Chain A
Amino acid sequence: MESPEAARLSAEDISPSSNGPKAEPMLLDDDPDDLFAEATEEVSLDSPERQPILSDGPSPVITPVTPVMISSRADVFDRSPDQDEDEEENRDTFDIQISVSDPEKVGKDVCDSLSLCLQTSLSIFSRDEVCVKRRFSDFLGLHSKLASKYMHMGYIVPPAPEKSIVGMTKVKVGKEDLSSVEFVEKRRSALERYLLRTVKHPALLKDPDVLQFLESSELPRAVSTQALSGAGILRMVNKAADAVNKMTIKMNESDAWFEEKQQQFENLDVQLRKLHASVESLVCHRKELSVNTASFAKSAAMLGNSEDHTALSRALSQLAEVEEKIDQLHQDQACADFYLISELLGDYVRLITAVKGVFDQRMKTWAKCQDAQVMLQRKREAEAKLQHANKPDKLQQAKDEIREWEGKVQQGERDFEQISKNIRREVGRFEKDRVKDFRVVIIKYLESLVHTQQQMIKYWEAFLPEAKAIA
């Protein structure tokens, strides 16, 4: 269910004003809080060591830094002391906490600028605690850079959150527009999870773009061409996949592991999508239940008012109160359903698309290698022909070309080997993380269900004597 609001927001996002480079220093036309002059920065500006691998952009956005530390939901992503044999990094010292908070309205987009706070003891970072402000487009920009740098090597780059929130359930209760509040929280939470996943990846953690993103208080505005949304990247990946599928050359899979894994991920994808849809439906119905329970509570209160038998009247009012409390319980449970399970599933559906993308990259690499071999063969044939043609310069050229293509073939084979190796390692890491994530989240979810039932018991136990007291 796409809310018109969300659609409007995404339109704003893509509007040129938010992404395009601006000549004027720090002027954000759409930023009502022009935060320029009062920048009370507690953190020093970029240290000179940083070599940003960025395009020369417009003047940076200078924003005040308010180091707001809000405990994050990072505990869901607590690292484990697992040792993966292929890991070069020492996971034991993985200690990083990230929180994304303070969503601010910029222009019409209710959640465009956020505070990003980092707490860590890792040495790659120049400080133990950093707080910076980032815009949504910055996150997208980061992802697109990482994708373009690492995907072709077989690294599973965590996808960034979507611009438009599809399937968001809207409940308008009272004057407050809940859907807007929900949207903000959903995006904030999604960005936090995105960053945590990104830094959990040992290679990505060391990436200069990532470090700069996390630490530097100034970030050049992402150029519009690079600020692709998460959906945009996925479309790119899918296009690559389509291209691969349309290839007439069937890849000779010498390694059964890859075939098996691809099938497994295919199945997992199908089931997770199904599960996600069911959970979204559950969230929707629970919210509906909450609304209907509240409505019934009011009605029961009215009925109690008009009942002329005093004791029964009182009991009905009590019933109304119980139902009101229960409606709040349902509301809270629906939130838990959503933020714990539904979002996790959504994340994994997108992650698996990234995994599939990586397998496709491998196929592309193989195809490239094949192409190079075909080319080499052709060049050799051409050279053989030229042997008898007495054209010395052409012959020399042909020999040069052969050497060139021999090199390319070798490179292609090395690339293919490398990507295969990377993928094996990545998939191993991915699966470990998946097991952990699901375990942690499901246990948390069950605990929320336990809490709900405990509260229910409390409420009904309080009501029972009231009902019995009707004389």
Chain B
Amino acid sequence: IFLCVSPQQEGLDDGPDFLSEEDRGLRAVNVDLQTDATLQVDISDALSERDKVKFTVHTKSTLPNFKQNEFSVVRQHEEFIWLHDSFVENEEYAGYIIPPAPPRPDFDASREKLQKLGEGEGSMTKEEFTKMKQELEAEYLAIFKKTVAMHEVFLCRVAAHPVLRKDLNFHVFLEYNQDLSVRGKNKKEKLEDFFKNVVKSADGVLVAGVKDVDDFFEHEKTFLLEYHNRVKDSSAKSDRMIRSHKSAADDINRIASTLYTLGTQDSTDLCKFFLKVSELFEKTRKIEARVAADEDLKLADLLKYYLRESQAAKDLLYRRGRALVDYENANKALDKARAKNKDVLQAETTQQVCCQKFEKISESAKQELIDFKTRRVAAFRKNLVELAELELKHAKGNLQLLQSCLGVLKGDT
């Protein structure tokens, strides 16, 4: 089965497309940014091929670093990851919250459904098949748009960050119009990463155990640890809730189809009745599916994003914690050296370096965490307001359909 999907395709008929303006504005959703004329980045197009997605990254800039004022390149998901990892591994950026990497585009579930549909083609009517195919196309389109949005948000966060936007790798990413040839990590590197994470989490516990002198960071630590866990839980639960909602909408779809058949077959007055109700359910079903999709976008995605951001913030605290431990160790070493009167100068230099590193991280970390809160509050506000507005819009739409149908059916006796 061949699916034709492109970001310009409007998958759903009545009402505004749920991802049109909003995904452009997603930039401003999760990221409280002043869009800056000096550097503007967006994903202007994307192409879904069999195994990969190709994003067209479009840049507009007045900065002198770039050869032109406006240009585009094509990038794949692995290249985004490479960029993200290069930030994480850069010691200079230890004091910043590194914008979380976008999740891998995952069309597996959709693909599986598509396959099942193909296999079951013989067992359903032509109408049913066409309907389900349209459903799947719409779903595919939704996932596609989401992944585009996630990748875009990442780039925008980087572009908005006063320090990260100047990063050389970032500029290469934006401008170099050839393939960056960043292969995905091979097994050995993945294993290294795994161990690094294990060490980090063990350390994390260690470091977290040390009570911070600074009240601000102590509070942030406690807050982030708890918040992160709860966001994780909420994210999972919201996903489950939305999945049930989708399943219910699918059932209504099937009910509408069967009612239609009943309507065409019935020999009594009920035939008109069934046809009308079938029509109604077709429409309400679309609305229910839209509700689930909007909840997914405004609630589930928000929570997922802040799950990743809060992890990035935790990572920052960890790095600061490490720097603190290093600093304290350097102090102890200095004391020891002074006591023994051996290698004092070296110890002093080490201590000074550690001190500077720690203070630098602490200073930028404080600002980053304050910004994180501001962004978070703004994002939640925007999304919760939009969620409520959309829920209201759909409920009113549903209500109107139901009432008008009831009016016809009741008057039809």
Where the two chains meet, the residues of A that have a C-beta atom closer than 8 Å to any C-beta of B are 264, 267-268, 271-272, 274-275, 278-279, 281-282, 285-286, 288-289, 292-293, 295-296, 299-300, 302-303, 305-309, 311-312, 315-316, 319, 431, 434-435, 438-439, 442-443, 446-447, 449-450, 453-454, 456-457, 460-461, 463-464, 467-468, 470
Contacts and interface: CB of A to CB of B under 8 A. Distances in A.
A442 B270 CA distance: 11
A80 B137 CA distance: 48
A295 B388 contact: no
A300 B303 CA distance: 10
A223 B111 CA distance: 59
A306 B270 CA distance: 55
Interface residues of B, number: 58
A143 to B, nearest CB: 26
B380 A275 contact: no
B255 interface: yes
Nearest to B242: A292
B248 A285 contact: yes
Contacts of B241: 289, 292-293, 295-296
Given A306-B226, A315-B384, A288 B406 contact: no
Given A285-B247, A292-B244, A309-B373, A302 B268 contact: no
A144 to B, nearest CB: 30
20 contacts: A272-B262, A278-B254, A278-B255, A282-B251, A282-B252, A282-B255, A292-B243, A302-B230, A312-B377, A315-B380, A316-B380, A438-B273, A443-B409, A454-B399, A460-B395, A463-B388, A464-B389, A464-B392, A468-B381, A470-B380
B183 to A, nearest CB: 39
Given A278-B251, A281-B254, A299-B238, 6 more contacts: A302-B230, A303-B231, A431-B267, A443-B409, A450-B402, A461-B392
B392 A460 contact: yes
Interface string B223-265: 1001100110110011011011101100110110011011001
Given A285-B247, A309-B373, A450-B399, A434 B385 contact: no
Contacts of A307: 227
Shortest beta-carbon contacts, A-B, top 10? A289-B244, A282-B251, A467-B384, A470-B381, A296-B237, A292-B241, A453-B399, A456-B395, A285-B247, A464-B388
Interface of B: 219, 223, 226-227, 230-231, 233-234, 237-238, 240-241, 243-245, 247-248, 251-252, 254-255, 258-259, 261-262, 265-270, 273, 277, 280, 284, 373, 376-377, 380-381, 384-385, 387-389, 391-392, 395-396, 398-399, 402-403, 405-406, 409-410, 413
Contacts of B240: 292, 295-296
Contacts of B243: 292
B258 A274 contact: yes
Given A278-B258, A289-B248, A434 B395 contact: no
Contacts of B254: 278, 281
B245 to A, nearest CB: 6
Contacts of B410: 443
Contact of B234 (A296, A446, A454): A296
A267 B245 CA distance: 31
